[in-house]
Structure 1
Amino acid sequence: MKTLHSFHRPLGTTGLTVSPLGLGTVKIGRNQGVKYPSGFELPDDSQVRDLLALARDAGINLLDTAPAYGTSEERLGPLLSGQRQEWILCSKVGEEFDNGESRFDFSAAHTRRSVERSLQRLHTDYLDLVLVHSDGNDLTVLEDEVYPALQQLKQEGLIRGYGFSGKTVEGGIRALETGDCAMVTWNLREQAERPVLDYAQAHGKGILVKKALASGHICLEGEDPLTAGFELVFSHPAVTSAIIGTINPVHLRQNVETVARILEKK
Structure 2
Amino acid sequence: MTSLHALQRPLGATGLTVSPLGLGTVKLGRDQGVKYPAGFRIPDDREAADLLALARELGINLLDTAPAYGRSEERLGPLLRGQRDAWVIVSKTGEEFENGQSRFDFSAAHTRFSVERSLKRLETDYLDMVLVHSDGNDLEILKHTAVYETLERLKEEGLIRAFGFSGKTVAGGLLALQRGDCAMVTYNLNEQAEKPVIDQALASGRGILVKKALASGHACLAAGEDPLRASFELVFGHPGVGAAIVGTINPQHLRHNVALAAEVLGEPRRA
Which interval holds the TM-score relative to the shorter structure? over 0.9
The equivalent of 1:54 in structure 2 is 54
Q: What is the one-letter code of the residue matched to 1:149?
A: T
1:127-183 Cα shifts (integer Å, max 9, x gaps): 000000000000001121000000000000000000000000000000000100000
Name 2:185's counterpart in structure 1: 184
The one-letter code matched in structure 1 to 2:179 is: T
Write the mapping of 1:1-266 to structure 2, written as runs, cut at 5 A: 1-143=1-143, 144-218=145-219, 222=223, 223-266=225-268
Aligned length: 266
Q: Share of identical aligned residues, percent? A: 71
Structure 1 Cα separation of the partners of residues 195 and 267 of structure 2: 23
Please state whether the residue corresponding to 1:188 is helix, strand or coil: coil
Long gaps (5+) in structure 1 = none
Superposed displacement of residue 9, structure 1: 0.7
* Alignment partners' CA distance in 1, 2:203 and 2:16: 19
TM-score by structure 1 length? Answer: 0.99
1:206-254 CA-to-partner distances (Å, cap 9, x unmatched) read 0000000000011687431110111011111100000000000000001
**Any conservation in 1 of the 2:189–2:220 contact (CA below 8 Å)?**
no
Q: Which amino acid aligns with 1:199?
A: Q
Give, in whole Å, the separation in 2 of the partners of 1:221 and 1:139: 36
* Structure 1 residue ranges (4+ consecutive) displaced by more than 3 angstroms after TM superposition: 219-222
Taking structure 2 as the reference length, what is the TM-score of the superposition?
Answer: 0.97
- Sort the Cα spacing of 1:97 and 1:5 in 2 relative to 1 into closer, same or farther, 3 A: same
Unaligned runs of 5+ in 2: none
Q: What value does the CA root-mean-square deviation take over the aligned residues?
A: 0.9
Work out the CA distance in 2 between the residues paired with 1:189 and 1:220.
Answer: 9
Distance 2:230 2:243 in 1: 16
Give the SS at the match of 1:218.
coil
Give how far 1:58 is off: 0.3
